[in-house]
Amino acid sequence: MKFGYFDDVNREYVITNARTPWPWINYLGNEDFFSLVSNTAGGYSFFKDAKFRRITRYRYNNVPMDAGGRYFYIKEGDVIWNPGWKPTKTPLDKYECRHGMSYTRITGEKNGLEAELLMFVPLKTHAEIERLTFRNKTESKKTFKVFSFLEWCLWNASTDMENFQRNFSTGEVEIDGSVIYHKTEYKERRNHYAFYGVNSPISGYDTDRETFLGLYNGFEEPEAVLEGSSRLSHAHGWSPIASHSLDVTLEPGEEKSFVFTLGYVELNDDEKWESKGVINKAPAKAILSRFDTSEKVDRAFNELKAYWDDLLSIYSVKTDDDKLDRMVNIWNQYQCMVTFNMSRSASFFESGIGRGMGFRDSNQDLVGFVHQIPGRARERIIDIASTQFPDGGCYHQYQPLTKRGNNDIGGGFNDDPMWLIFGTVAYLKETGDFSILDEMVPFDNEKGTEVTLFEHLKVSFNHVIENLGPHGLPLIGRADWNDCLNLNCFSHDPNESFQTTENNTVGSKAESLMIAGLFSVCGKSYVALCEYLGKDDEARRASEFISKMDESVIKYGWDGEWYLRAYDFYGKKVGSKENEEGKIFIESQGWCAMAEIGKSEGMVEKSLDSTKKLLECEHGIVLNQPAFTSYVVEYGEISTYPAGYKENAGIFCHNNPWIIIAEALAGRGNDAWSHYAKICPSYTEEHSDLHKVEPYVYSQMIAGRDAAKPGEAKNSWLTGTAAWNWYAVSQFILGVRPYYDGLVIDPCIPSSCKGFKVTRRFRSGVYTIEVKNPDGAEKGVKTITLDGVVISGNKVPVLSGEHSVVVSM
């Protein structure tokens, strides 16, 4: 069952049934001011940091789900309705929600009155614009009232939900004409306020929640709206809100728009006040005046569209499969950008409070957006590297506002250092900007500790070889990529965190085959980089360690039909036929196969075959088999999840592309493709009722075959899956791969595919790459012509201007 459809021309997903199986959301904003918006206009806004600068309030654990947002109540006679259906849930004659590239347009219609709500954050603007357009579609005049509504958060989203003995006394607002200002804590330590204004005179306002709603009412029946008039409340403490009321009259056929602006302002200490107790409103007024007519809003909206046109023109494909084209050209790239902006902080599954930016997460996200915004990728790499420790270890997370490592979690995740190499190499291959390697970057943000970024890569590499276990394999530390495989945790106390507790570390023999494969892959690209830079000694030194690692994997990491997953604290095998549960895991198959360890001995093919045989199911590849059915104290969190969910035999989508890439490297295009299409959202759209979350973005997890409801997905939007699947499809299936000195063309496709065309902007050139596959090959390029001339090899050089490349498979 579907709840809408893709509109590829407008790059929108159009939801036609408001009762989606879960709120289907979108993100507004591209730089500093961000909002989440659901298909019923729920959600919230924040500035830069979803924890410390929450602008509007949201209740994650609310019943019903997704209550609170930017709501417009329309009262015509006795009928009260919302364009987005919620919260009144008055049945609409028409409903449509179009989620597009950084904007959402919700249209509702009731009794011949159409209300269209366009929401977006204009470029370089600290505000969300909400343009509400009414159309009278009847033959008679219409008179009605409109009430806006949003609820302020007291800035810190965490204390906002906890510290009520203080919170109920701090709230402060100012009302000036049609603008409501939220200034809680402004008089002391905050230098920022928020405002909500409309470009028209108002007939009333409310700023105190209980006065507007009534203490015994929910959002669905505000007393002021039921009565038809604002109560002119002025909030002093309790829960400040912002609501305007407007009286509207429309002649038959007439259309009228109102522009609401939700903005955020920061001021220097000496500019904070207009007079004692009165905030300086000049910066807010400047923002409001930029959007005080519908034409100005149109202009800003067109700029946003042009911004996305440009971003999405860097890589595009034309095949005969719409589902593939829309993922590659639109939604996968869009999701990568959102993931870059949010890391894992704010979605309908991430509360915006718990997690800062992940070291490994952010580096992986980079391969998803580096082609779109290389400048910001550069900045991100430097920020991340600045949180590294001198021994190459890293803080697992950092807070975006301060950019400092997060002490509560600390470090000790021994895969983390490798990801810095992974991210930096991706940046270098895309941009050719080697100057980044000479940037002076501190350790742990300490002044005076700066070394070059290249040195950071070197200490990252060394961190693995300085932390090897008894089999010469990398010690796992707290965990590797799988945060839930906690081999040194040994926790019996439910109040302990699996990620930060290490009850058993002394003498630990816990080693990770996932890190071994990761080290081999990233190490080899580190070697190639060193060679490219003429650092031959370093290349040689590194190569020796990689060969040793590969040997250790072959000797101690092979279980006969697949790669082991790990050795536990005691040195016992994890992910072996000898185990009763958790005999095989996906991560080490993906990484060791991508590293091609033991390829000539047939290990890679065997590992991929075992993955297919033992881990693949109808909805994707599960993480491990058999699932754990009881708690294994020496494994930690992985065995806490019910079978089939999350890291316990769920389809953890993030790691499926590792297999896809390994399959592509092995030349098995049909297998790579079938793994890809199973988890790719546009291919699961038909069973949206089962899948539950948005059919236009990847989710972190789909319930595996052991689960109660296989195929049901969770944790949509903020997942490394976006970047990894983008990387897999763009660079390994379609096979257009940036390298330091050119574009490598190396497709690996299903044999049924007769060809495709990729347009790729790379450095200062634009390449139109036409791939022809008349004989149904899966891999292998016979000839490549560049502007009509046959070239040798499969790398097209870096060129300026437009070029045509024709590839015969």
Catalytic machinery residues: 483
Q: Which is nearer to ligand BGC, 105 or 654 (CB)?
A: 654
Question: Least CB distance from residue 360 to ligand BGC, whole Å?
Answer: 5
SS3 sequence of 363-408: HHHHHHHCCCCHHHHHHHHHHHHCCECCCCCECCEEECCCCEECCC
**Residue 484 or 809 with smaller CB distance to ligand BGC:** 484
Which of the stretches 283-291, 324-332, 355-363, 779-787 binds ligand BGC when contact is defined by CB under 6 A? 355-363
Per CB under 6 A, does 647 bind ligand BGC?
yes
What CA–CA distance (Å, rounded) separates 591 from 596?
A: 8
Does residue 483 interact with ligand BGC by CB under 6 A? yes
462-468-471-477 Cα dihedral, nearest 10 degrees: -130
Query: In this chain, which stretch among 50-58, 72-80, 479-487, 782-790 interacts with ligand BGC, using CB under 6 A?
Result: 479-487
Is the Cβ of residue 125 or residue 482 nearer to ligand BGC in the bound state?
482
**Segment interacting with ligand BGC, rule: CB under 6 A, options 204-212, 302-310, 316-324, 476-484:** 476-484
A 10 A CB-CB count for 136 gives: 21
478 binds ligand BGC (CB under 6 A): no
Cβ nearer to ligand BGC, comparing 244 with 360: 360
Q: Which is nearer to ligand BGC, 80 or 484 (CB)?
A: 484
Measured from the Cβ of residue 31, the count of other Cβ atoms closer than 10 Å reads: 13
Q: What is the C-alpha to C-alpha distance for residues 323 and 516, in angstroms, rounded to an integer?
A: 36
**Nearest distance from residue 409's CB to ligand BGC, in Å?**
11
- Can you read off the two tokens belonging to residue 269? 């200490």
Does 416 engage in binding with ligand BGC (CB under 6 A)? no
How distant is the alpha carbon of residue 804 from its chain centre?
Answer: 34
Our CB check for ligand BGC shows the closer of 623 and 753 to be 623
Query: CB-wise, 199 or 482, nearer to ligand BGC?
Result: 482
Residue 83: how many CA atoms within 13 Å on its side-chain side? Answer: 29
Minimum CB–partner distance for residue 361 and ligand BGC (Å): 5
- 90-98, 277-285, 354-362, 455-463 -> range binding ligand BGC (CB under 6 A): 354-362
Q: Pick the stretch among 236-244, 296-304, 478-486, 768-776 that binds ligand BGC (CB under 6 A).
A: 478-486
Handedness of CA 234, 237, 238, 239 (dihedral sign): positive
Choose among 334, 336, 420, 376: nearest CA to 721. 336
Q: Is the peptide bond before 417 cis (omega within 30 degrees of 0)?
A: no
Site string for ligand BGC, 494-533 (x = CB under 6 A): ----------------------------------------
Q: Which residue has the closest beta carbon to ligand BGC?
A: 483
Contact status: 128 vs ligand BGC (CB under 6 A): no
Beta carbon of residue 76, minimum distance to ligand BGC (angstroms, whole number): 46
Tell me the closest approach of the beta carbon of residue 482 to ligand BGC, in angstroms.
5
Q: Looking at 110, 281, 360, 619, which residue binds ligand BGC (CB under 6 A)?
A: 360
DSSP state, residue 480 = S
Residue closer to ligand BGC (CB basis): 389 or 498: 498
358 binds ligand BGC (CB under 6 A): yes
Distance CA 626, CA 579 (A): 9
Q: Is position 482 an interface residue for ligand BGC (rule: CB under 6 A)? A: yes
CA dist 133 and 152 (Å) reads 24
CB of 616 to ligand BGC, least distance (A): 19
CB of 646 to ligand BGC, least distance (A): 8
Token match 């510290």: residue? 163
CA distance 188 to 106: 39
Asked if 565 is part of the footprint of ligand BGC (rule: CB under 6 A), the reply reads no
484 in contact with ligand BGC (CB under 6 A): yes
Applying CB under 6 A, does 481 fall inside the site for ligand BGC? yes
Tell me the closest approach of the beta carbon of residue 484 to ligand BGC, in angstroms.
5
Stretch that binds ligand BGC, among 424-432, 444-452, 481-489, 554-562 (CB under 6 A): 481-489
- Calculate the dihedral angle through the C-alpha atoms of 50, 54, 57, 59, rounding to the nearest 10 degrees: 20
Enter the tokens of residue 425: 């190499």
Closer residue to ligand BGC (CB): 134 or 481: 481
Instruction: Report the C-alpha gap between 671 and 616 in whole angstroms.
Output: 11
Q: With CB under 6 A as the contact rule, which of the stretches 173-181, 356-364, 419-427, 537-545 interacts with ligand BGC? A: 356-364
**How far, in Å, are 473, 586, 610, 625, 680 from residue 613 at the CA level?**
27, 12, 5, 11, 20
169 conformational bin, left if phi > 0, alpha if psi -120 to 50, beta if neither: alpha
Would you say 15 or 484 has its CB closer to ligand BGC? 484
Phi, psi of 192 (to 5 degrees): -145, 150
101-109, 368-376, 477-485, 723-731 -> range binding ligand BGC (CB under 6 A): 477-485
What are the Cα distances from residue 760, in Å, to 431, 534, 769, 803?
13, 29, 8, 10
Supply the minimum distance, in Å, between the C-beta of residue 55 and ligand BGC: 25
Beta carbon of residue 727, minimum distance to ligand BGC (angstroms, whole number): 16
Burial of 112 (0-12, 13-18, 19+ CB in 10 A): middle
- Tell me how many helices (H) and strands (E) the chain has: 20, 45
| CA atoms lying within 13 Å on the CB side of residue 710 | 12
H or E element, residue 26:
strand 25-28
Closest to ligand BGC by CB, 34 or 585? 585
- In three-state secondary structure terms, 190 is coil
Specify whether the CB–CB gap between 337 and 30 falls below 8 A. yes
Position among 12, 172, 361, 596 found at the interface with ligand BGC (CB under 6 A)? 361
Determine, following the binding rule CB under 6 A, whether residue 371 of this chain makes contact with ligand BGC.
no
- Residue of 99, 344, 678, 760 that binds ligand BGC (CB under 6 A): 344
Encoded amino acid at 716, one letter: S
| Residues comprising the chain, all counted | 809
CB crowding 435-456: b at 16 or more within 10 Å, else e: ebbebebbbebeeeeebebbbb
CB 202 → ligand BGC: shortest distance, Å? 44
Q: Which is nearer to ligand BGC, 647 or 778 (CB)?
A: 647
Minimal distance, residue 807 CB to ligand BGC, in Å: 35
First to last CA, the chain: 38
- The 428-467 site mask, x for binding ligand BGC (CB under 6 A), equals ----------------------------------------
What is the per-residue binding string for ligand BGC in 299-338, x denoting contact by CB under 6 A? ----------------------------------------
* Per rule CB under 6 A, count of chain residues that contact ligand BGC: 9
Nearest approach in angstroms of CB 62 to ligand BGC is: 23
587 is a site residue for ligand BGC (CB under 6 A): no
Nearer to ligand BGC, 42 or 423 (CB): 423
Based on the shown chain and the rule CB under 6 A, indicate whether residue 365 belongs to the binding site for ligand BGC. Answer: no
Burial class from Cβ neighbours inside 10 Å (0-12, 13-18, 19+) for residue 560 reads exposed
Phi-psi sector, 808: left (phi>0), alpha (psi -120 to 50), beta: beta
Segment near ligand BGC (CB under 6 A); pick from 10-18, 332-340, 371-379, 480-488: 480-488
Given the rule CB under 6 A, which residues bind ligand BGC? 344, 358, 360-361, 481-484, 647
